[in-house]
Every structure is written in C-alpha cells, then in structure tokens.
Amino acid sequence: MNKKITELEPSTSRKRRRDEESEAELDNDDDDSQSLSLEENFTFSDTLMALRMMRSQFPRTEKVTVQPFVLRSQLYSSLKDRTQVDMELESLRRDRVLRIFKLNTGQDDHAVMFMDDYINQIERVVKRMEDKKQDDIRVFEWFKIHVIQSKLDTSIGHQELFSLLSWGGKVREEHISQLINAGLLIRQLIDQNMYWFSIPNIGSVLKGLSQGRKEVLSFLNRRKYKEMMLVSLEKKRLRLSPLDMRFHLRDLIGSGHLKTIQTPSGLIVKIAKD
Amino acid sequence: MWKEIKEREFGNVRPNLFSSRISKSRVSSIQLSNYKEILSSHRGSVNSLQVDLTESRYLLAGASDASVAVYDIQRATDHDERNLIAKHKPLFVLNKQHEHGHKYAISSAIWYPIDTGLFVTGSYDHHINVWDTNTTQVVMNFKMPGKVYRTAMSSIARSHMLVAAGTEDVQVRLCDIASGAFAHTLSGHRDGVMSLEWSTSSEWVLITGGCDGAIRFWDIRRAGCFRVLDQSCSQFGRRQPLLLRPTTNKVTNFKSSPASQSSSAKVRAHHRKSANGSALKPHTVGRISSLVKTAKQRSHPGMLSSHDRATAHYGVVTGLKVTGDGMYLLSAGSDSRLRLWDIESGCNTLVNFETTRLQSSKAIQMAVTQDSTLAFVPCMAITKVFDIWSGQTKSTFRGHYENVNCCCYNALDQELYTGGNDRQILVWSPPKFVSDETGEGKNGKAAATDDQDNWSD
C-alpha cells in the first residue's frame, strides 16, 4: 500500500496528546489503536492523517464484510475547520488517492474510501463471481481500468458509462446489468439514466450504521438529562450494529445530532437540541 | 468613537473606511432589539419580508393568511409609558376582505425597485397582483399556471420592468408591468422553481433554483440558460487561478471519447465547450451566431441546456442570495447544505457552513451584509450568522417560537428583521443603552432618575 511517508515515528506510546502535529505510521499498531480511547485522540491536525487513523480503527470482524471506509461526518467531528476538510478531500480525490461515494442512509451521507481498498473490494467481488463460474467477467476489468480511473465523481450518466466501457470492448446491456448485480452501480431514483457509484457488499454495514445511530440516540434520549460522560459511553457495546461505538459517536457528533461539552472531569456527550 | 472621528478629521482614516469600521462593529453586536418592536398584525406565518430599496424606511411583509402589511421602521407609531420601546404598527393591512386581495397564502411580496409607489405580491392562489401603495388598489393581475413560489424584480434594471415568477410549473415566466402581458418563458427546469433572484451585476441575468436541485443562469435576451451549476465542479479559494482549468474530469471527458460515440455525448461536450467559452457575461447579440457555428447541431443551441442534468443540491433549492458585488451566490438546499458559488467560473468554492437542518418544504429568504462578509440564514427556529469565507457560525439568534422563514437586512441602520411561522416579525439591532433614552425623555425630569436609587420602599 502506498502511503505518503513524511515522518517515520513508531507509535509505541499508548497515549497521544491532542495537539500532536507529526504524522505517524500505524502499520503494526492495530492492537494499540483499538485501545486508544476516543477522548485522547479526538482531534487531528491533518485530513490525511485523520483518514488513515480512522481507517486503522475500522472494526475488522467476520460480520463486517467490507474494506475500511470513513464517513464524511466523522472527518468533520475530528478536525476543527470544515472548509479545510472539504478542500483537502477534493484535492485528494483529484489526485486519485481516494474516492467518495454517496450513501443512501439519509441526507448528505458520504463515504470516503482509499483507492486501493476500493480496488481490493472489487477484486473480492470478481473472485466470488469467478468461483460461481459465471462467464464474461471482462466487464469488471474494463470498469476498473477505464471507468474508475477517468470518472472521479460520485455518479455517472448512462451514455458516458457506455462510451467509457467501449474502450475495453464491445459493450452490451447485459454487461451493465452485471455491474448493477455486483453492487458497483446503483440506478438513481430521480433520473433513469444516471447511476451512483457504490461499494459492493456494503448493504449489511449500512443497515448496521442506521440502526446503530438510532440506538445511540435513543439510549441518550432515555437518560434523565440526555447526556453521559464520553469515557463511560464509549465502553458500551451496541446490540444492533457490527460497527463499534467510537465509529458511531464520531459520526453523530460530526453530523450535529450530538455535541460535546468540556467539563473539569472530562468530555460529556449530550443530545443537541437545535 | 470620538478617537475615530478625530482620525477622520485629521485625514488619517479615509471616510469610507471610517464608515465601514463603524458599521462592522455595529453588525457584530446585533442582538434582539431592546428599543424597537414591530407589532405584527398577521394571523398566519410571515413568508416574505423586504425593506424598500430607495429609502430603507418601509418594510413590506406577506403572510400565509393572505395579508400584506407595510410598516414604517424609522418612525414609531407609539411608545410605551417610559419611552423605552418604540412600537411600530402597520401603516395598512390588506387581507382577504379586500375586493381584489389574494385568497390563499402569499409567498412573496416585493417592492417596485424604483420607488415605493408600487408593490408586487405572488400567492398560492395562482395570481400575481401589482398594487398601488397610496390607493391600496390592484392595478394589474397576472394568472399563473400553478402556485407562485417566488417573484423578483431586478433592482438595477434600466430598460425593462419585468417581474420574474417561479411557480410549481417547470417554466419561469416573465411578466411585463409596462404592458400587462407576459414577455416570454424560460424552459429548462425539470420540476417547479422555488427560488429566483436577479443578478446584481447585470440587468439581463436571472438565476433560478428548482425543485429538481439545479441552479440555472438565464440571459433573458436569448433562449435557454447559459450555465447550470454543478456541485461536483469545484475550485479552491475565492477566485479561479488564472492558468489552471477548474475541472480535471471535464478535460478527460474530451480525451476519452472514442470514435463511435452517441450524439448526446457530443451534445454534452459541445455544450461544455460553449459554456466555458461564454463564461464572460454575454453582452452582444453577435455571440449567438458564433455559438450556432461551433455547435454544429440540429437542435437550437439555447436548448442544449435541457440535456444538462447537473444538480447543485441533492434536494430542492430552497433559497438563493447573490452578494452585493455580484461575484458570489449563496444557495440553500433541502439537503441541509449551504453552498457558495463563484458566479464568474460557475464553481463551488467548497466553503462548509455548519447547518444541522434547514427547512425543506418552504422557501427561505437569506440576507447578506453589504460588504459581503456575513450571511444571515434561517435554520429551523433560529437564525445563524455565518462568516462567508470560513463558514464558521459567528452567532445564533434565538427568539422565534417556531421556524423562521425569512430575514431581511437593513444596511442603513444595521438591523435585521426576521419573520417566522409564529406570526411574529422580530427586530435585531445593535444595542442602545437605556440611559441614553431616558436622558432625552420627558423634559429633563428624567435626568434626575439616573441618580435615584432603585430600592422599593
């Protein structure tokens, strides 16, 4: 995996100060990063570092069948300046380091995935289709080589898809149906001729995402003052979602449903009233 | 304050720098007014507010109970006992009982930009009425095919008197009040048009935002729109860099088109070429012929834009506001996003305004200060003040009991008026110290009250 290495610093320390400026490598530190609490590394200074850190903290259990991705709202909660986040995401997207996908779990939800992870995910899907002995998987190669590299947006029109795939060979309607069945493209509801790009096999994770959000919000709503200490909230396990509590907290704080208040005994998470 | 006046007197500070400093400091201290109150006589939610453009003295309000009222915001109609709060009652109210009044909710009420002798109201009863202010009679009436969502007149127009109307029909209609007939219609949107604004730099350019999420720029002198804003087309920073092209994906579309391509892809490529070429404001009619030559298509070049399906928001575009200098456009959508667009290049400037939710069923009216540094946006029951360039929330104004629909900024006095679903019009202004008022009160007797104790015996 190609990572931009600006400063090598083995992260053997378990605690990270909030205003630490240097970038660190996290290759072998999955165990360490799992045990780092949310309170200690809540904010980052750089979008790419935040993305890598959150990618390494993505839960990898058997229930989660998808490569790590980060939600845009999680980035907003971890960095101070949202405009800066948007601009850096845009420049990283144009450099083809990552891709952005629009999710259907509610208004304006976007998932950010590194390009290599996305290619891995496509290859997994292709291998599964190969095992099932389905013929004509050439369309996936054409998709990987021609469409993904040149079309960097979140959606694509039918004519443009056809013309880009024809670089690879003769395209038929069945090829496009294959792409839709594999989960790489989704038809748009408002417009028949436009497709959203999507991450294959993400369905169960998205269901867990929306149910987990509801669970966290209802748990806090049931409490007397609709708030709880971040440290103890983080230790709770979620019943309905395979994703961990830290993932959901970052997402809800970034989208504005929860807010954090600094108190002498630590951070408190509260339901936002507006 | 006195120090600054002395600086201006000695010539250290230019007069307009002096006045902009004063107004900036006043704007940053805006809060719920402690000396002015508007007694709203509406029985429905206030949908539209506008201060007149000539003297900034009269506030026109349109409400959901088909009532229109005009308030004089510089002169109070009465004061309360201790002379502390000035109350402003409406000068007149026109409601359903009026013989030619509207029957259903009024969605938009605007002044005639040249003087306050006329005003135009658009309503959900499919009519646009032009009223004479002094006689409060309807002088002209236009029937629309659907509910009127918004009307607008250009404040810099010198050669036309067109009212642009956005309705639930897909076409935008231009009504001419000089002749009483419709001038022409602009087609291109695929759903109703909820918000529209005239450009502040050209009297011929109209900007519309539709329920399909698209924002289109129209030059009313020719057919079709000349630009559709696309949220994926973005630039970094306030202005386009001189050398680099804004979008890399558009360039690769040209390169990666194989020989055997369908005609609509060609249409799109040519449309983009011509749109980039005409990024400067179209001034002469001669441009139309050059576009026809480069397009080489059978369809009219004005109708090329109907193929362009770019969206500016993922939902309905509920509000548009052009900054005073005509360079930037602020748009609000029902996807709860506010976007700032550079009008010259048509790109999204990627400034992120933190909004949790914006109301999605009704149009909202936003306001921008005169020097384009602050934007006032109604977000549900509060009004937020954003710094336009960093997207940070400078302050929030809480006062309404229900959703806020419209806000209007008066640059002369640095006051903000907001109207909401709770039928109230609230005034937000820089604070005036109470002791100043009592000092000027009833003939010097009040001067003694400053020294008196506040004990209750």
pLDDT tens, position by position, B335-367: 889 999 999 888 899 898 988 888 888 999 999
Assigned CATH for A117-197: 3.90.56
Secondary structure, 3-state, B210-271: ECCCCEEEEECCCCCEEEECCCCCECCCCCCCCCCCCCHHHHHHHHCCCCCCCHHHHHHHHH
Residue B195 scores a pLDDT above 80:
yes
Weakest-pLDDT range from A4-13, A90-99, A257-266, B214-223: A4-13
What pLDDT score does A10 carry?
Answer: 36
Q: What is the pLDDT of residue A168?
A: 81
| The residue to which tokens 């179209």 are assigned | B282
**Quick one: closest CA in A to B269, which residue?**
A160
CB contact under 8 A, A166 and B252: no
Structure tokens at B42: 């509406």
Pick the CATH number of A203-271 from 1.20.1440, 1.10.10, 2.40.70, 1.10.3470: 1.10.10
Nearest CA in chain A to B396: A274
Which residue out of A47, A86, A158 would a mutagenesis test of the B interface target, given it has the greatest number of B Cβ atoms within 10 Å?
Answer: A86
Contact A152 B253 (CB under 8 A): no
| A206 or B439, higher pLDDT | A206
Q: pLDDT for B21-56, tens place per residue?
A: 989 999 999 999 988 999 999 999 999 999 999 999
- This complex has an ipTM of 0.79
Predicted confidence (pLDDT) at residue B218 exceeds the cutoff of 60:
yes
**pLDDT of A204-245, one tens digit each?**
889 999 999 999 999 999 999 999 999 999 898 888 888 889
> Is B391 in Cβ contact with A82 (below 8 Å)?
yes
Nearest CA in chain A to B263: A159
> If you ran DSSP here, which 8-state letter would residue A107 be given?
T
How would you list the strands of the sheet with B162-167, edge to edge? B148-153, B162-167, B172-176, B182-186
Phi/psi of residue B167, nearest 5 degrees:
-130, -175
As given in the structure block, the two tokens for residue B232 are 């994926």
- The answer to whether B431 and B418 have CB atoms below 8 angstroms apart is no
Where residue A59 falls among pLDDT bands split at 50, 70, 90?
Answer: confident
Name B152's Cβ contacts closer than 8 Å, sequence gap at least 6: B108, B110, B163, B164, B196, B197, B198, B206
Distance from CA of A81 to the nearest CA of B (A): 8
Nearest to B256 among A76, A85, A167 (CB): A167
How many angstroms separate the CA of residue B425 from the nearest CA in chain A? Answer: 21
pLDDT value at position B244? 60
The answer to whether the Cβ–Cβ distance between B336 and A94 falls below 8 Å is no
pLDDT bin (cut points 50, 70, 90) of residue A20 is very low
Rounded to a whole number of angstroms, the distance from the CA of B10 to the nearest CA of chain A is: 41
Q: Do A166 and B351 touch (CB under 8 A)?
A: no
Strand ranges inside B144-290, DSSP E = 148-153, 162-167, 172-176, 182-186, 193-198, 205-210, 215-219, 225-228
Highest mean pLDDT (candidates A23-32, A61-70, B427-436): A61-70
**A153 contacts in chain B (CB < 8 Å):** 232, 249
Instruction: Give me the mean pLDDT over the B316-336 stretch.
Output: 92
B228, B234, B349, B397: best to mutate for the A interface, most A CBs within 10 A: B234
Q: Which of B191, B209, B167 lies closest to B312, judged by CA?
A: B209
**Among candidates A90, A102, A166 on the partner chain, residue whose Cβ is nearest the Cβ of B258:** A166
Question: Which part of chain A has CATH 1.10.10?
Answer: 203-271
Q: What percent of chain A has pLDDT over 90?
A: 23
User: Where in the sequence of chain A do the CATH 3.90.56 domains occur?
Assistant: 117-197
Nearest CA in chain A to B403: A274
Residues of chain B found within 8 Å of residue A90, distances taken between Cβ atoms: 234, 236, 350
What integer is the mean pLDDT of A102-129?
87
In this model, does residue B260 exceed pLDDT 60?
A: no
Q: Do A157 and B309 touch (CB under 8 A)?
A: yes
- What size, in residues, is chain A? 274
Query: How close does chain A come to B335, measured CA to CA in Å?
Result: 6
Say yes or no for a CB contact (<8 Å) between A272 and B315. no
More confident: B90 or A23: B90
The mean pLDDT of A189-216, rounded to a whole number, is: 88
Provide the pLDDT for residue A36: 58
Q: Which residue of A has its CA nearest to B390?
A: A83
Task: Please tell me the predicted confidence (pLDDT) of residue B298.
Answer: 55
User: How many Cα atoms within 13 Å fall on the side-chain side of residue B191?
Assistant: 16
Distance, in Å, from the CA atom of A147 to the CA atom of A141, rounded to the nearest integer, reads: 10
Mutate to test the interface with B, among A163, A194, A257, A271 (most CBs of B within 10 A): A163
Nearest residue on chain A to B255, alpha-carbon basis: A150
Q: Mutate which of A47, A80, A83, A193 to test chain B, going by most B C-beta atoms within 10 A?
A: A83
Minimum-distance CB partner of A83 among B262, B351, B381 = B351
- Chain A interface residues (partner B, CB cutoff 8 A): 76, 81-83, 85-87, 90-91, 94, 102, 107-108, 146, 150-154, 157, 159-160, 162-164, 166-167, 190-191, 193-194, 255-257, 272, 274
Closest-CA residue of chain A to B352: A83
Average pLDDT over residues B72-100: 87
User: Which residues of A fall within a CB distance of 8 Å from B258?
Assistant: 163, 166-167
Q: Do A153 and B249 touch (CB under 8 A)?
A: yes
Average pLDDT estimate for B134-156:
93
